Structure 1
Amino acid sequence: MQKNWINAILAVAIIGIIFGWVRHADARSGQEALQLLNTVKPYMMNEQQIAFKYTGYYGTCDGSDLNILHTGQKLSQAFNIPQADQLSESNSHAVYSARTEIAPGAVATLTVASPAGSNGCYTVLKLDASEQADQYELMNWQEQAGDQLKKLGIEGQWNVMVQSYVNEQEQVLSGKNSANDLAHAVAQAFKGTIVESYSDSKTISLSLASDAFQTSIQSGNQTVNMQLALHQDSTTGKWRLTAGTPIITMEY
């Protein structure tokens, strides 16, 4: 049940970003990313995992492997990512994937595919970084990538996420009520209003409306600017905290 719920959240999140329930200009995207990282950092242990992701469509692939390859190579050049010579396979579909380390502890990945029922080239530009990566290098990469995305006419929005175990001071959590208190404390730190929530024995998820962020999606009648989740590891018993704007699209 829990796994099905997490998968459902991921599916809805990905659909929301692809089809753009709400689109906002990303002029403040760098500031929002820094605000997300700096606000949640006191609640997390070291070894944070940070992800920047931009999703959209570019050109026409029309299900052609050759078009996917040529589009991927063109975009690789645009984003200074070494070109791949051939396609790989994911879930029985041809996919272009190329990656490069843009700074110590930070790897940029470009993925291009042609989804069934769509003529467009589905494009994902992602940066995965560790706690050791320099935050300002990450912001600089995001700004430069954003400028290039605009030049190419790839419409979409940034999705920024950070994940780590709850820090040692907060690790006194002994049950769901304490975890729930922590989740609400983090929500308060973001000056957010809780508009949607879910909880079970090991997971708490809160969706927030917050004036601190312009980036948003529309979920039903609610505007969501960011999402928080706490999940208890079944082996260690530790709680893992994930925060994302406008929503979380990684497994938590």
Structure 2
Amino acid sequence: MYIKREIIKVLLLVFSIGVILIGLGLNTSEAQESNKGDKRLESLIEWGKELVDTPLKVVVKWQGEWSNEGKKSTLEVAQQLAINMELSLPQVVSNTDHVTYRSITSVNGITVIFHWQVLSEEKSYMIVTLESHEASQQSSLLHLQNRIQTQINLMNMKAEWNASVQGNVIEGQSIANTMADVETKLQSHLEFSQVESYQDEMTLSHSYRAPMLNFNLVSGDHYMDLQTAVHHDEILGENRITIGFPIITVEF
């Protein structure tokens, strides 16, 4: 009788663990499926390939705050998140005003920088950056973006992402004419209206409202979803095009 009760206990324990694992698997699967419907990064890469003559640089960045609920230390959370993202474990790189942990991982030729800054015992700030330089890495980049976004969702972190593509056009024309070409080609893919502009001798930048992209970044008294920039590289004699959403966070 005693042995039978023990067997039942073991079976119940195995069943409970199985239910938990199935639940975790379903949560991960649901998060992954919800991300697959977001084609904005894929579209941005395709637009970039249409516009530049040189290899396309793609940068994707997540930034967000994590709040401690008292269950784990900030280091434990940072390490677990990096493991779940299949990245190298972060190490201490700074201990001045705020303790900062960082790791750099190469995933199929894509550089992934994981940055975790401890603001207080209750709050930390995370930045994860992906950088790709080859068109052949597009599939790996999209898969990696989905993986990282899934883990951020599962952590219930308040994180926003932005992306940019960049490359040069070789033909020697003015930055204004290059910008006109960029906008003409983009208009074949989405509707947008200009809301901001910046210009100096070597650079021209426009920001737009593009409801289809649905980023809705507040800037002054309007929303922004997309930004373009053209910069003349005097050394190469070429114009560098950058397209990003909702704003460009890399150097023009």
Please give the TM-score of this superposition, normalised by the length of structure 1: 0.75
Equivalent position of 1:181 in the other structure: 180
Task: Find the counterpart in structure 1 of residue 40 from structure 2.
Answer: 32
Query: How many Å apart are 1:186 and its aligned residue?
Result: 4.6
Provide TM-score, normalisation by structure 2.
0.75
How many angstroms apart in 2 are the aligned matches of 1:204 and 1:187?
16
1:112 aligns with 2:120: no
What amino acid is the match of 1:37?
I
Structure 2 equivalent of residue 191 of structure 1: 191
CA radius of gyration, larger in: 2
- CA deviation after TM superposition for structure 1 residue 159, in Å: 0.6
Cα distance in structure 1, aligned partners of 2:124 and 2:230: 34
AA aligned to 1:128 is: E
Task: List per-residue Cα deviations over 1:114-166 (Å, max 9, x = no partner).
Answer: 34x89521001121111244322221221221111111011222211111112
Equivalence for 2:160: 157
Give the C-alpha shift of residue 60 in structure 1.
4.0
CA distance in 2, matches of 1:199, 1:36: 23
Deviations 1:1-27 (A, max 9, x none): xxxxxxxxxxxxxxxxxxxxxxxxx85
> Structure 1 residues 135 and 177, CA, compared in 2 at 3 Å: closer, same or farther?
closer
Q: Higher relative contact order by CA 8 Å / sep ≥ 6: 1 or 2?
A: 1
* Alignment CA distance shift 1:245-1:90 (3 Å): farther
Equivalent residues of 1:68, 1:96 under 8 A apart: no
SS in 2 for 1:146: helix
Q: Is the 8 A contact 1:159 1:247 kept in 2?
A: yes
Q: 2 CA distance for matches of 1:28 and 1:219?
A: 28
Across the aligned residues of Structure 1 and Structure 2, the Cα RMSD in angstroms comes to 2.7
1:82 and 2:88 correspond? yes
Cα shift at 1:184: 3.5
Matched, 1:127 2:130: yes
| Identical amino acids, percent of aligned pairs | 22
Separation (CA, whole Å) in 2 of partners of 1:238 and 1:195: 27
1:225 is aligned to 225
1:29 Cα shift? 7.1
Unaligned runs of 5+ in 2: 1-33
Q: Could you tell me how far 1:180 is from its partner in structure 2?
A: 4.2
Aligned equivalents of 1:101, 1:29: Cα separation in 2: 26
The question of whether the paired residues in 2 share the 8 Å contact of 1:40 and 1:186 is answered with: no
Give 1:98 deviation, angstroms: 0.8
Cα displacement (A) at 1:193: 1.0
